[in-house]
Chain A
Amino acid sequence: MSKDIESRDVSLRLFEYTAHHLSAKILSKEICATDLVKHFLERIKSVEPHIRAYITINEEDALKKATEIDKKIGNGETTGLLAGIPVAVKDNICTKSLSTTCASKILKNFIPPYDAFVVKRLKEEDAIIIGKTNLDEFAMGSSTENSGYKITRNPWNPEYVPGGSSGGSAAAVAADLSMMALGSDTGGSVRQPAALCGIAGVKPTYGRVSRYGLVAFGSSLDQIGTLTNDVKDAAILLQVIAGYDSRDSTSMQVSVPDYLNGIDSGVNGLRIGIPKEYFAAGLNADVHNALKDALKLYERLGAKVIDMSLPHTEYAVAVYYIVANAEASSNLARYDGVRYGYRAPKSNGIIDMYSRTRSEGFGNEVKRRIMLGNYALSAGYYDAYYLKASKVRNLIKNDFDIAFQQVDCIICPTSPVPGFKIGERAKNPLEMYLSDIYTIPANLAGIPGISVPCGFSKEGLPIGMQILAKHFEEKKLLQIAYAFERETDFHLKKPVLKVSSEQR
C-alpha cells in the first residue's frame, strides 16, 4: 500500500524556491527567517521519518538563530550572504556544541568544542544550521547504508539508496528538508549522491576549501563540497566556504573569484573532452543516452566535443583504495576510548580497552578499511602498495594535466548506474567500490568536479552528468553547468514522495 505524503500546501510554496531566490525575499522582508525555519522544521517532522536524512536536528538553536537574523534585518543591519537560509551539514563536519558523530557509534555523544572552518563561515554569513546529516560511517561508502545509526532512503524511490557517503545531505536537499547542504567528497561522496538524488553537487579543488574541522578519512583526498537544488545555489554556497585558512596547511592562498558574476557567459567555443575510458563497458544505457543528449545540447550551444583518452583510468580505483585506506587507518587510530567518544565499559588493561572499544565502536566497513590500510603500510609491503600507488597516482594526475592542454573541461557520467536498491550491493564490497569509478580520478588528481542532473532512467531515477576542470577552475565549471541547466528542466523536477506503509 502506498500513500502520498507530499504536502506542498504551504501558502508561500517555499520549497519551490532555491536559496538565491529566498534570500532576496528574506531581505525584502517578504518572508521572515523564523517562518522559513519553521516551515522546514515542520516538513522535517512529516517527511524525515520516511527519508531519514538527519542524525541530529538542530531545532532549538535554528529557531533562535532565525529570530536573531530577523531582528538584524528589522534593525536594518547588514546581513550575510546566506541570511536566514537553512543549511544542513554532514555529520562528519564539526559543529561547536552540536553533536558530531560521523555516523559512528564510536563518536556517539561527541560534542566538538569548536567549529569547522566551513561552519564558522556559514555562521558568519548568517546561515541557519538546520541539522546534521547521515552518512556512511566516517564517510566510508557509496550508499549511506554503512551508517551506525540509520539507512537514508532516496527521495525518488525509497527502495533505492541515496548514494553516499553524503547521502543524508543529498536526500535532505532533494526532499526539501533543507535549502542547501554541505557534504564531503573523498572519492565521489558529494557528486555521486547528488547524481542519485537529482541535485547539483560540487567537489572543489583540493585546497580550495579548508579541511579544518572535517573529520579526516583520506586526508590527501578529502574535500568539503556543496549539495544544492541548482547551480546558482552551488555558486553561492561555494562562495561562502571557499578560501584560505591558516589552520589547514593544505589550503591554498588562491583568491576566490565571484562565482555568480558571469555564470551565464555560455559555452560558445568551449572544448569539451570526452574520455573514452568513461564510456566503456559497464555503463548503463540510460546513463549513456542521457550523456549523449547532453553533449548534443552543448554542441548546439556552440561547444566543441573532442574525443580523448585518460589512459591510466583503469588503475584509479585500485590506487584510491590503497591511498584512502592507508590514510584512513592512521586517521582513525585516535578513536581509542582514551580522551573522548565511546569507551568499552568492561576491559582488562589498556590493550584490551583499545581492542574492545574499537571492536564495539566501529562498523564492519570501517574495520575492513582499517585492516586494508594497515596492511598496505606495514613493513615489507609499503613499497609494493603505498609507494607504488603514490607513483600511479602521479600518472593519473599527469593524464589530466595533458588532457587540459587540449580541452577546457571533461564531461562524463557521475555514476555508472542511475542507482541501486538498498541491500543490493551491501554484501559485495568490491561492487560497491566500483560505484565511484568515475568520480575517484578527480580526487586523486585534486581537480574540481560538479555533478548536475541530466536526465532520468526508465525507473524514474535521476541521472547525473559530471564536469571536470583544471585546478581552481570552479568558476568555469559552474558556468558550463549553468549553460546546461538554463536550457533544461531536470533540476526543476522534484520527487513526489511515495512511502509504503511498512516503512513508516
Chain B
Amino acid sequence: MEYEVIVGLETHAELATITKLFCGCSTKFGVEPNTQVCPVCLGMPGVLPVMNKKAFEYALKAAIALNCRIDEFTNFDRKSYYYPDLPKNYQISQNYYNLGVDGYMDISVNGTIRRIRIHNVHLEEEAGKLIHPEEISADYSLVDFNRAGVPLLEIVSYPDMRNVDEVESYMQTLRKILLYAEISDCKMQEGSLRFEASISLRKKGSDKLGNRVEIKNLNSMKSVLKAIEYEAKRQSEVLDRGGTVDRETRLWDEVSEKSARMRSKEEAQDYRYFPEPDLLPVLINEKWLSAIKASIPELPRERKQRFMEVFKLSDYDAGVITEEKVLADFFDECVKILDRPKAICNWIINDLLREVKDKKLDINNLPIKAKQLAVLVEIIEKGTISSTIAKEVFSEMIQTGKGPQTIIEEKKLVQISDEGLIEAVITKVISSNPDAIEDYKKGKKNALTFLVGQVMKETKGKANPKIVNEILAKKVGI
C-alpha cells in the first residue's frame, strides 16, 4: 500500500533576552547550577511574575515574521502539570489567546516554493533541568533552575509537510528567520532550538488522516528527519499488517535510532488551562505593532533579493551567502568598505567557506574580519599582489589573524611591476633556455608558457604576469 506522510512540527526557541521572562535573573548559558535564580523563578510562596517587555516584543517579531494574525487582545494561561523541573508545577503559557495565529512560512524544496501554514505562535516560560547522578544506585536527582523562566517561543505548524525534504527545509528556513530577526541564537546543542514532530499516514488518494503520533526528544535536525523516516516506516508496517496506529507520544532514542512509547492517548495529561490571574492581559495597539514591525531586521528572503538586485549576485551566490546570517552580515560589511561585490562574494564562497569547512570552524566565529577581506581584494585589484600570492596571503590571514598588508610587508610579497626589472629577468631566462625559444619558433605555443613559468620562478611568483607576458611577447618577436 502506498501512503502519504503527514508531518507537523512544534518548535521551541529560547529567546535571546538578557533576563528571564518574569524576573531579572540572567539567561546566560552554561554557568554553575542554581546561580541564576531568585524567589520568583524558584516559585517561592508569595512571589509574582512581571512580564519582560523585550521578550514579549521578540515574540511579536516572530509572529510578524511568520505572517501571523495578531489580535489586539492577548493573555497568558497557566498550564498545570507536576514535574520537579517546573518550580510552580504550572507553566505560564498561552492557550486561549495566542499572540500570533494563522500564519505561514514559505519554504523552498528543490527550487519549488511550498507554503506551510503556522497554527500559532505563543510565548511561555522555560523549565529547569534535572541532573541525574552518575551512580546508577543513587536514590536522588538534582534540579538546576538556571533555565527555569527563560523566555520560550513556541511555534506550532499545521500538518502541512509531506516528506523529510520539506521538514528539513522548514526547520532550516525557520531557524534562519529566527536568527535574521535576532530573537533567538538557535543553538540546538545548547537546547535553545528544539523540535517535536507529529506524524500520521494517509492512504494515497484518500482524504482520511490516520492517527497522529507525537515524537519527543529530538536533539538535532538529523534526529528529527531520522525519527520521521522511522515512524513513517513503522506506521506503514502496522497498517499493512491490517493493524491500527495508536494515538500516542513516543520518545526518540538517538543511539539506537528507534522510538518507544512514552504515553498513550488515555494517559495524555489534562493541563487544566485557565487564565493567569497574576498577569494583566496585553493589549496590542497599532502604534506598538508598527514600531515592532519597523524594528525587524531584513529577513533572509529580502536579504537574498537585495543581494541579487543591488549587487547583481547570481541566484546561487546570493543563496549561499544568505544561508547563514553571519555570512550575509559579513558580506554586507565588506561591500560597505569596498564596492566590489562580485569579487568579495567569490572570496567568501570559494575561500572563506572552504576554510571554515576544512577546519571545522564555528561559522559564528569567522576567522577573519570584514575589513581584512575588503583590503585584500582592494590590494589585488590595485595590482599590488597577484591572485596566486593573494591565496597565500589569505591562508596566512586565516592562520595568524594578521591583516593582509602586514603579511605582504613581512613576507615581502609585493608584486613586481617594474618593467626594467622584469625585462632583466626575462633576458636571463631566455639566454639560459635557448631550446625553448627554438621550440616556440617551430610552433610549440606552450614553450612560451614554460618561459613565463621560469620568470615567475625567478621572481618567486611576484612578477606582474601581465607585464611578463607583454615583454616576453616582444622579446620572442610576436
Residue of B nearest to A390 (CB): B275
Task: Tell me the chain A residues, 482-503 only, with Cβ under 8 Å from chain B.
Answer: none
B49 — which chain A residues lie within 8 A by C-beta? Answer: 249
How far apart sit A340 and B42, CA to CA, in the bound complex (Å)? 10
A350 — which chain B residues lie within 8 A by C-beta? Answer: 84
Contact assessment for B50 and A340 in the assembled complex, using a CB-CB cutoff below 8 Å: no
Residue of A nearest to B43 (CB): A334
A472 at the interface (CB under 8 A from B): no
Contact assessment for B50 and A102 in the assembled complex, using a CB-CB cutoff below 8 Å: no
Contact assessment for A249 and B272 in the assembled complex, using a CB-CB cutoff below 8 Å: no
Residues 78-99 of B, flagged 1 when their CB comes within 8 A of A and 0 if not, give 1010101001111000000000
B410 at the interface (CB under 8 A from A): no
Residues 239-260 of A, flagged 1 when their CB comes within 8 A of B and 0 if not, give 0000000111110000000000
Q: Which of the segments B189-197, B277-285, B426-434 contacts the partner chain?
A: B277-285
B48 — which chain A residues lie within 8 A by C-beta? Answer: 211-212, 247-250
B47 at the interface (CB under 8 A from A): yes
Residues 257-278 of B, flagged 1 when their CB comes within 8 A of A and 0 if not, give 0000000000000101110011
Of the candidates A219, A246, A333, A378, the one whose C-beta lies within 8 Å of that of B89 is A333
Contact assessment for B47 and A212 in the assembled complex, using a CB-CB cutoff below 8 Å: yes
Query: Given A212-B47, A216-B46, A247-B48, do A339 and B87 touch, yes or no (CB 8 Å)?
Result: yes
Chain A nearest CB, measured from B297 CB (Å): 30
Contact assessment for A246 and B50 in the assembled complex, using a CB-CB cutoff below 8 Å: yes
Contact assessment for A249 and B50 in the assembled complex, using a CB-CB cutoff below 8 Å: yes
Task: Tell me the chain A residues, 305-342 only, with Cβ under 8 Å from chain B.
Answer: 326-327, 329-330, 333-336, 338-340
Contact assessment for A334 and B82 in the assembled complex, using a CB-CB cutoff below 8 Å: no
Q: Which of the segments A107-115, A121-129, A266-274, A432-440 contacts the partner chain?
A: A107-115
A220 at the interface (CB under 8 A from B): yes
B39 at the interface (CB under 8 A from A): yes
Contact assessment for A219 and B277 in the assembled complex, using a CB-CB cutoff below 8 Å: yes
Contact assessment for A330 and B46 in the assembled complex, using a CB-CB cutoff below 8 Å: no
Of the candidates B44, B272, B273, B280, the one whose C-beta lies within 8 Å of that of A112 is B44
Contact assessment for A220 and B277 in the assembled complex, using a CB-CB cutoff below 8 Å: yes
B272 — which chain A residues lie within 8 A by C-beta? Answer: 329-330, 374, 377-379, 382
B45 at the interface (CB under 8 A from A): yes
Contact assessment for A333 and B82 in the assembled complex, using a CB-CB cutoff below 8 Å: yes
Chain A nearest CB, measured from B55 CB (Å): 14
Contact assessment for A112 and B45 in the assembled complex, using a CB-CB cutoff below 8 Å: yes
A94 at the interface (CB under 8 A from B): yes
Task: Tell me the chain B residues, 76-129 only, with Cβ under 8 Å from chain A.
Answer: 78, 80, 82, 84, 87-90
A160 at the interface (CB under 8 A from B): no
How far apart sit A335 and B47, CA to CA, in the bound complex (Å)? 13
Query: Given A214-B46, A336-B89, do A250 and B278 touch, yes or no (CB 8 Å)?
Result: yes
How far apart sit A92 and B46, CA to CA, in the bound complex (Å)? 8
Contact assessment for B78 and A330 in the assembled complex, using a CB-CB cutoff below 8 Å: yes
How far apart sit A327 and B274, CA to CA, in the bound complex (Å)? 9
Contact assessment for B82 and A249 in the assembled complex, using a CB-CB cutoff below 8 Å: no
Residues 43-66 of B, flagged 1 when their CB comes within 8 A of A and 0 if not, give 111111111000000000000000
Of the candidates B42, B46, B90, B277, the one whose C-beta lies within 8 Å of that of A333 is B90
Of the candidates A246, A330, A335, A338, the one whose C-beta lies within 8 Å of that of B274 is A330
A339 — which chain B residues lie within 8 A by C-beta? Answer: 42-44, 87, 143
Contact assessment for A379 and B88 in the assembled complex, using a CB-CB cutoff below 8 Å: no
Residue of B nearest to A116 (CB): B46
How far apart sit A382 and B79, CA to CA, in the bound complex (Å)? 13
How far apart sit A330 and B76, CA to CA, in the bound complex (Å)? 14
How far apart sit A500 and B89, CA to CA, in the bound complex (Å)? 47
A386 at the interface (CB under 8 A from B): yes
Of the candidates B88, B274, B280, the one whose C-beta lies within 8 Å of that of A334 is B88
Task: Tell me the chain A residues, 207-235 only, with Cβ under 8 Å from chain B.
Answer: 211-216, 219-220
Task: Tell me the chain B residues, 146-162 only, with Cβ under 8 Å from chain A.
Answer: none
Residue of B nearest to A380 (CB): B270
A354 at the interface (CB under 8 A from B): yes
Contact assessment for A213 and B46 in the assembled complex, using a CB-CB cutoff below 8 Å: yes
B42 — which chain A residues lie within 8 A by C-beta? Answer: 339
How far apart sit A211 and B82, CA to CA, in the bound complex (Å)? 25
B84 — which chain A residues lie within 8 A by C-beta? Answer: 336, 338, 350
Of the candidates A250, A340, A379, the one whose C-beta lies within 8 Å of that of B270 is A379
Residue of A nearest to B276 (CB): A219
How far apart sit A267 and B415, CA to CA, in the bound complex (Å)? 100
Chain B nearest CB, measured from A330 CB (Å): 5
Residue of B nearest to A323 (CB): B277
Residue of A nearest to B49 (CB): A249
B278 — which chain A residues lie within 8 A by C-beta? Answer: 216, 219, 249-250
A212 — which chain B residues lie within 8 A by C-beta? Answer: 46-48
How far apart sit A386 and B87, CA to CA, in the bound complex (Å)? 24
Question: In this complex, which of B46, B47, B82 has the most chain A Cβ atoms within 10 angstroms of its Cβ?
Answer: B46
A143 at the interface (CB under 8 A from B): no
How far apart sit A49 and B381, CA to CA, in the bound complex (Å)? 96
A377 — which chain B residues lie within 8 A by C-beta? Answer: 80, 272-274
Task: Tell me the chain A residues, 68-123 only, with Cβ under 8 Å from chain B.
Answer: 92-94, 100, 102, 107, 110, 112-114, 116
Chain A nearest CB, measured from B448 CB (Å): 82
Query: Given A330-B80, A330-B272, A334-B88, do A114 and B39 touch, yes or no (CB 8 Å)?
Result: yes
Residue of B nearest to A216 (CB): B46
Chain B nearest CB, measured from A96 CB (Å): 10
How far apart sit A451 and B385, CA to CA, in the bound complex (Å)? 92
Residue of A nearest to B280 (CB): A249
Contact assessment for B279 and A249 in the assembled complex, using a CB-CB cutoff below 8 Å: yes
Of the candidates A112, A250, A326, A354, the one whose C-beta lies within 8 Å of that of B46 is A112
Contact assessment for B270 and A334 in the assembled complex, using a CB-CB cutoff below 8 Å: no
Residue of A nearest to B130 (CB): A350
Residues 8-22 of B, flagged 1 when their CB comes within 8 A of A and 0 if not, give 000000000000000
How far apart sit A250 and B270, CA to CA, in the bound complex (Å)? 28
Task: Tell me the chain A residues, 343-384 only, with Cβ under 8 Å from chain B.
Answer: 350, 354, 374, 377-379, 382
How far apart sit A329 and B271, CA to CA, in the bound complex (Å)? 12
A249 — which chain B residues lie within 8 A by C-beta? Answer: 48-51, 278-280
Contact assessment for A333 and B50 in the assembled complex, using a CB-CB cutoff below 8 Å: no
Residue of A nearest to B141 (CB): A350
Chain B nearest CB, measured from A344 CB (Å): 14
B43 — which chain A residues lie within 8 A by C-beta? Answer: 334, 339
A92 — which chain B residues lie within 8 A by C-beta? Answer: 46
Contact assessment for A94 and B46 in the assembled complex, using a CB-CB cutoff below 8 Å: yes
B80 — which chain A residues lie within 8 A by C-beta? Answer: 330, 333, 377
Residue of B nearest to A351 (CB): B82
Residue of B nearest to A221 (CB): B277
Question: In this complex, which of A110, A248, A334 has the most chain B Cβ atoms within 10 angstroms of its Cβ?
Answer: A334
Residue of A nearest to B79 (CB): A330
How far apart sit A247 and B84, CA to CA, in the bound complex (Å)? 25
How far apart sit A176 and B39, CA to CA, in the bound complex (Å)? 35
Query: Given A330-B90, A386-B274, do A110 and B39 touch, yes or no (CB 8 Å)?
Result: no
Residue of A nearest to B22 (CB): A249
User: Which are the 8 A-B pairs with shortest beta-carbon distances?
Assistant: A333-B89, A219-B277, A377-B272, A220-B277, A215-B45, A213-B46, A94-B46, A215-B46
Q: Can you pick out 29 interface pairs between chain A and chain B where the beta carbons lie within 8 Å of each other?
A: A93-B46, A94-B45, A100-B46, A107-B45, A112-B45, A113-B39, A211-B48, A212-B46, A212-B47, A215-B45, A216-B45, A216-B46, A216-B278, A220-B277, A246-B50, A247-B48, A249-B49, A249-B279, A249-B280, A327-B274, A330-B78, A330-B90, A334-B45, A339-B42, A339-B87, A340-B44, A378-B270, A379-B270, A382-B273
Using a CB–CB cutoff of 8 Å, the interface residues on chain A facing chain B are 92-94, 100, 102, 107, 110, 112-114, 116, 211-216, 219-220, 246-250, 326-327, 329-330, 333-336, 338-340, 350, 354, 374, 377-379, 382, 386
Given contacts A374-B272, A382-B274, 18 further A-B contacts (CB under 8 A): A113-B44, A215-B46, A219-B278, A249-B49, A249-B50, A249-B279, A249-B280, A250-B48, A327-B274, A327-B277, A330-B80, A333-B89, A333-B90, A335-B45, A336-B84, A377-B272, A377-B274, A378-B270
Using a CB–CB cutoff of 8 Å, the interface residues on chain B facing chain A are 39, 42-51, 78, 80, 82, 84, 87-90, 143, 270, 272-274, 277-280
